[in-house]
Chain A
Amino acid sequence: MGTTQELENALNALGSKLGDPAGKVSDLKRLSGGASQETWAFDFGPSGGAVEDLILRRAPGGVSAARSQAAIGLENEAALIDRAVAAGVPAPRVVHSCKPEDGLGQAFIMNRIAGETIARKILRDDQYATAREKLAAQCGSAAALIHSIDIADVPDLPKSMGEDQLAQYEEIYRGFDTPRPVFELAIQWLKASVPDAVEPSLVHGDFRLGNLIVDETGLVAVLDWELAHLGDRREDLAWICINSWRFGNSQNRVGGFGDLGEFLDAYAAAGGVEVTPAEIDWWETLGSFKWGVMCMIMYEAFRSGADPSVERAAIGRRVSETEIDLINLLERVRDA
């Protein structure tokens, strides 16, 4: 199962499950992007009639090969998106969660929302100038809605709080046996400065530009829920702030587009709790450390021979980006 024709046949056979027994697939094409999942766009409807714009999200070749041990699987992801939509989070509507007899492997189908996901366009194109002004508040509200979802009401998800993640990424870093003094200082400071614990809530796990659809009016959908977990709400609020996800616009702490105060105010106003910039400092430091270790993991794929591409080699020279980000953060904390 993998050719475009085979996929099209399987999708055509879904018929009424996609809301129209006479519906046919047209214009099926693979979209780029998506680190571990295949994403396909297609139109569905009666020939000559009105079509619905849909997205197929599918494990590569239909077989699950999660990008990390933490990924929750497509069935859980679909269930979670349903819950998020019910809670008022802007997200796609899941049309069908695939069963084995559908012949598509692990997959679900959702409606296709028009807009842009490429961060550099959202941050630079004139078309999104008005959207950029609203985005910090909209993201704060969306995060509050995500975190308000009753965790008794979501699929069985892994639990990972801040100290769990610090321990997990420290272990990976030590496993590489590549001493990096900046990482040592960050680990030491993070351990000595753990913020007060909070009750676990549903955490998106990859809440940042790239996983958000934005149109001229601002945020229209939160995508890519596969790293969702039970955790610390402040993780989502700080992950969008780490400098790597500001895509060159360092001066705007939230995603390269927004002001932290405005973002946190909107979060609190939409039902989230009060979160202080100092708490974001800790989580942003953890986030930059995690991203640095992730770059080391990607480089390790080259070093071990698993992926000999020049791209995997090059990413090893991006670990230093997270080192300077950590220094900037720690210097600000020290001098505060």
Chain B
Amino acid sequence: MTDGFTLTNATFAYDTKPAVRSVSLQLPPGKLYGLVGPNGCGKSTLLDLLIANRKPQAGEVEYQGRSLNDFSRRDLAREVALVPQDFGINFAFTVMEVVLMGRHPYIPRFGMPQSDDMLKAHKAMAEIGISEMQDRLVPELSGGEKQRVVVARSLAQDTPVLLLDEATSNLDIQHTLEIFKVSRRRVEEEGKTVIAVVHNLNLAAAYCDELIFMKEGAIHCAGPKEEVLNAENIRAVFGVESRVQFDDFCGAWQVSFRY
């Protein structure tokens, strides 16, 4: 059991305010994980620990049985990709140029993108449905379009693990479903791992294999969605009343809330 991520008592605090408290988790590959919890409960910080943007102050984060400290940044960038929450791009790069930046970890310092890099960039744009805007300038796109460009960039990175930090926060329902479908396909057809911070519990219920409930920096519960998605856990973590039932139309378990 050394495949995927293993966290052992991983802890991280900003100054004195703890963001991730002694988290221990096993995340085997080939699944779509949904990370859910209230705002500020440490979800983004947990993703930062997984991609070594931050180092745990105590405990250990391992990937494939090796501590993340043993990976160079470049090596890790070939294993794990991240779609961050903020997706501002400050200069007038074209969509194609930004998507190609996903190939950065594979191109030697003074090298040029090879045909394989171009192929993967085009494939990623096609999957997200932004091929026709490849020559447009990113600062001129709408918020939702920018977000799709950033998702395409992470797909072009073509890593075994993809971390999505609210990757659909600015998207309409059609494009939101599209990104979850692409993630689902990568998991099922290519055996990849996706770990997604999701605010919409119904999306999490529909697309994820396993759910991780976080509260105040700690794991409240984690496991297959059928086991952990229930009214008690939702009440404990979010403090709202809900009902979870199987919806035939959706073909998935769905949550309805008492307003």
Does A pair with B?
no
- Chain B residues with a Cβ under 8 A of chain A: none
- Chain A residues with a Cβ under 8 A of chain B: none
